[in-house]
């Protein structure tokens, strides 16, 4: 009976903590504060200085923290669009490697000079805070209306730069510190990154092939299978000696950009799992902290934090961004948005497990540095984004949901016409879908009807299409193009509907005569497109 009561009490307490974490998101959104700080406060409130719950299991913390980081990276990769991140992969990769090395070296030098510590402790401090944090970056950047490439650069950097610092901190904190050479550490970092990358891509490709050919009996099974594939990549990379965090991030990115059944259901599940991991991770780290020791760490945290934020980070960004000619305003924003969060605090527990003399001091300095500087940086990001010109209005895109129909090698595609989409006002006949793709139903104002050629789409319409698998990708591309460019996307996009002989395309010598003639005619009305005085100007 006693054990049952303890279990019920533990479940009730965990539920209250989770509800508090969910409420903290709402509070943080209204107050303009990062929610991760409120999670840390919750952990402190129920810890030894609050309700008296003592928690000092560092090994369990490392295991749970690693799993939580894996979930956060999986969700971050799944929600990252490849067409946005592709142009910035080079810059993000350089920031995650050379940029981290520069930041660690400069911060360690400042700690060595300013704190009068030995070389090992200084290097530990520099390495622990050397990488930006995926949990902090994803949770804050997704709420800011900044340029997609800026956001993608910061998110990809935070996803790529964890493995190098984890390896460096592990080497410095262990007995390998006395034997390891710089080239050996660099080679180990490179091996883990490449192995994790290759393993993640291979497992994700096989998982995509399997999921796209499986008609599971319930939509809710697809998110579970997708996450199982991502964690299989995580485990396989670890067995192969690679970075599991790198593997799960690239696996999530591959699957997130693949044509998966019930993708929106999976995206919602991944988003919820990401929030759960963030809440659990930061509450756990708040439990681990000892507020009574923190006052002694104020000055060291201030010295290291100022050096990192105003010297090391800007220098690393400037040197890396010089290769890509990034505007100085964008460099300023990227530098200031290099947030630290859960990863530095988790890494700061490694020296404690190794029994290093200055380990507790390092943990306190890092904990205080993260909480204080995130409190300064995060609320100021919207203002800085406006000042540096990285703010942009986000266009609402259509979100296509799919479900396989195995018996006829086809898929059901479903989406809602969003407000502001250029699909509004387009006639069903003007969609010019690929051959055999059929717009089957339109749901509007609670009524379902079969669309005719002259059915005009409205905002809020729910559309259901039956599409053969071999033209599914082309159909989705066509729908996104019309949503972005309007009914003339077939000409303005230079695109021809899949299949030969589709309306709207006449080929002559390899040129699209309809598009050429229409652009030359200027305002001449196109047949079959009522209410349009000519093509939209080509930028």
**What pLDDT is stored for residue 31 in this prediction?**
60
pLDDT digits (tens, 9 = 90+) for 500-525: 333 333 333 333 333 333 333 333 33
Q: pLDDT class for 13, splitting at 50, 70, 90?
A: confident
- CA geometry: angle at 313 spanning 308 and 317, to 5°? 175
**What pLDDT is stored for residue 333 in this prediction?**
96
Please provide residue 50's backbone torsions phi and psi, each rounded to the nearest 5 degrees. Answer: -110, -100
Q: How far apart are CA 304 and CA 302, in angstroms?
A: 6
Q: pLDDT class for 309, splitting at 50, 70, 90?
A: very high
Q: Which residues, in sequence order, are bridge partners of residue 466?
A: 412, 438
Which residue, among 135, 152, 132, has the nearest Cα to 35 in the 3D structure? Answer: 135
**What pLDDT is stored for residue 106 in this prediction?**
96
DSSP 163: H
Mean pLDDT score, 401-407: 72
Give the global pTM. Answer: 0.71
Q: pLDDT class for 226, splitting at 50, 70, 90?
A: very high
**What pLDDT is stored for residue 196 in this prediction?**
93
Q: How far apart are CA 162 and CA 278, in angstroms?
A: 16
Spatial contact of 341 and 133, defined as CB atoms under 8 Å apart: yes
Q: Which residues, in sequence order, are bridge partners of residue 465?
A: 413, 439
Mean pLDDT score, 3-20: 79
Q: Which spans in 129-262 are helix H?
A: 134-141, 148-160, 162-173, 182-211, 221-239, 244-256
Q: pLDDT class for 395, splitting at 50, 70, 90?
A: low
Which residue, among 366, 397, 321, 344, has the nearest Cα to 154 in the 3D structure? Answer: 321
Mean pLDDT score, 75-98: 88
**What pLDDT is stored for residue 532 in this prediction?**
38
User: Where in the chain do CATH 3.30.70.1450 domains reside?
Assistant: 401-521
Spatial contact of 132 and 67, defined as CB atoms under 8 Å apart: no
**What pLDDT is stored for residue 490 in this prediction?**
56
Spatial contact of 380 and 310, defined as CB atoms under 8 Å apart: no
Residue entry with tokens 């930041």: 103
Residue 110 has pLDDT above 90, yes or no: yes
**What pLDDT is stored for residue 342 in this prediction?**
79
Q: pLDDT class for 148, splitting at 50, 70, 90?
A: confident
**What pLDDT is stored for residue 502 in this prediction?**
38
Q: How far apart are CA 61 and CA 353, in angstroms?
A: 11
Kindly state the tokens that stand for 84.
């946005």
Query: Residue 335: left (phi > 0), alpha (psi -120 to 50), or beta?
Result: alpha
Q: Which residue would you say has higher pLDDT here, 112 or 69? A: 112
Spatial contact of 352 and 359, defined as CB atoms under 8 Å apart: yes
Q: How far apart are CA 129 and CA 132, in angstroms?
A: 8
59-289+298-385 maps to CATH 3.40.50.720 = no
Which class would CATH give 401-521?
alpha beta
Q: Which residues contact 218 (CB under 8 A, 6 or more apart)?
A: none
Kindly state the tokens that stand for 195.
């192995």
Q: pLDDT class for 287, splitting at 50, 70, 90?
A: confident
Mean pLDDT score, 409-423: 85
Please provide residue 289's backbone torsions phi and psi, each rounded to the nearest 5 degrees. Answer: -75, 155
Q: pLDDT class for 330, splitting at 50, 70, 90?
A: very high
Spatial contact of 463 and 415, defined as CB atoms under 8 Å apart: yes
Q: pLDDT class for 3, splitting at 50, 70, 90?
A: low
DSSP 358-400: THHHHHHHHHHHHHHHHHHHHHHHHHHHHHTT-B-PPPPPP--
**What pLDDT is stored for residue 223 in this prediction?**
92
**What pLDDT is stored for residue 305 in this prediction?**
94
Query: Strand 447-449 to strand 462-468: parallel, antiparallel, or no bridges (unpaired)?
Result: unpaired
Residue 171 has pLDDT above 90, yes or no: no
Q: pLDDT class for 232, splitting at 50, 70, 90?
A: very high
User: Where in the chain do CATH 1.20.1530.20 domains reside?
Assistant: 59-289+298-385
């Amino acid at each position: 009976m006693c054990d049952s009561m303890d279990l019920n009490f533990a479940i009730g307490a965990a539920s209250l903590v989770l509800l508090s974490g969910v409420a903290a998101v709402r509070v943080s959104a209204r107050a303009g504060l990062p929610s991760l700080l409120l999670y840390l406060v919750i952990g402190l409130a129920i810890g030894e200085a609050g309700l008296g719950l003592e928690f000092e299991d560092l090994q369990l913390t490392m295991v749970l923290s690693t799993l939580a980081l894996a979930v956060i990276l999986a969700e971050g990769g799944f929600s990252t669009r490849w067409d946005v991140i592709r142009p910035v992969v080079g810059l993000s990769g350089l920031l995650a490697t050379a940029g981290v090395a520069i930041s660690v070296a400069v911060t360690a030098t400042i700690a060595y000079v300013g704190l009068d510590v030995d070389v090992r402790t200084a290097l530990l401090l520099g390495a622990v805070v050397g990488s930006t944090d995926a949990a902090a970056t994803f949770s804050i950047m997704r709420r800011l209306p900044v340029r997609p490439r800026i956001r993608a650069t910061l998110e990809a950097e935070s996803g790529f730069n964890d493995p190098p610092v984890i390896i460096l901190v592990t080497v410095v904190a262990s007995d390998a510190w006395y034997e390891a050479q710089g080239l050996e550490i660099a080679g180990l970092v490179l091996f883990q990154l490449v192995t994790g990358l290759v393993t993640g891509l291979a497992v994700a490709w096989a998982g995509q092939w399997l999921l796209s050919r499986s008609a599971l009996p319930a939509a809710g099974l697809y998110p579970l299978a997708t996450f199982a594939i991502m964690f299989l990549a995580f485990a396989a990379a670890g067995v192969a000696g690679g970075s599991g965090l790198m593997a799960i991030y690239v696996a999530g990115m591959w699957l997130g950009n693949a044509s998966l059944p019930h993708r929106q259901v999976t995206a919602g599940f991944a988003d919820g799992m990401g929030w759960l991991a963030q809440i659990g991770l930061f509450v756990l780290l708040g439990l681990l902290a000892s507020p009574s020791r923190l006052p002694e760490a104020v000055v060291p945290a201030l010295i290291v934090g100022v050096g990192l934020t105003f010297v090391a980070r800007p220098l690393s960004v400037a040197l890396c961004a010089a290769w890509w000619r990034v505007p100085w305003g964008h460099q300023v924003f990227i530098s200031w948005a290099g947030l630290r969060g859960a990863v530095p605090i988790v890494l700061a527990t490694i020296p404690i497990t190794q029994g290093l003399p200055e380990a507790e001091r390092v943990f306190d300095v890092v904990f205080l540095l993260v909480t204080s500087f995130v409190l300064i940086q995060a609320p100021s990001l919207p203002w800085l984004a406006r000042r540096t010109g990285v703010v942009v209005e986000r266009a609402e895109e259509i979100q296509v949901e799919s479900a396989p129909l195995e018996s006829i090698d086809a898929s059901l595609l479903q989406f809602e016409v969003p407000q502001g989409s250029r699909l509004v006002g387009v006639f069903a006949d003007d969609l010019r879908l690929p051959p055999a793709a059929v717009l089957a139903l339109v749901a509007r104002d609670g009524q379902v009807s079969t669309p005719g050629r002259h059915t005009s789409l409205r905002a809020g319409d729910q559309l259901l299409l039956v599409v053969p698998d071999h033209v599914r990708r082309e159909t989705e591309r066509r729908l996104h193009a019309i949503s972005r460019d309007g009914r003339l996307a077939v000409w303005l996009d230079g695109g021809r509907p899949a299949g030969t002989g589709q309306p709207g395309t006449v080929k002559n010598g390899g040129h699209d005569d309809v598009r050429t003639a229409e652009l030359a005619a200027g305002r001449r009305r196109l047949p079959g497109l009522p209410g349009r005085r000519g093509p939209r100007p080509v930028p």
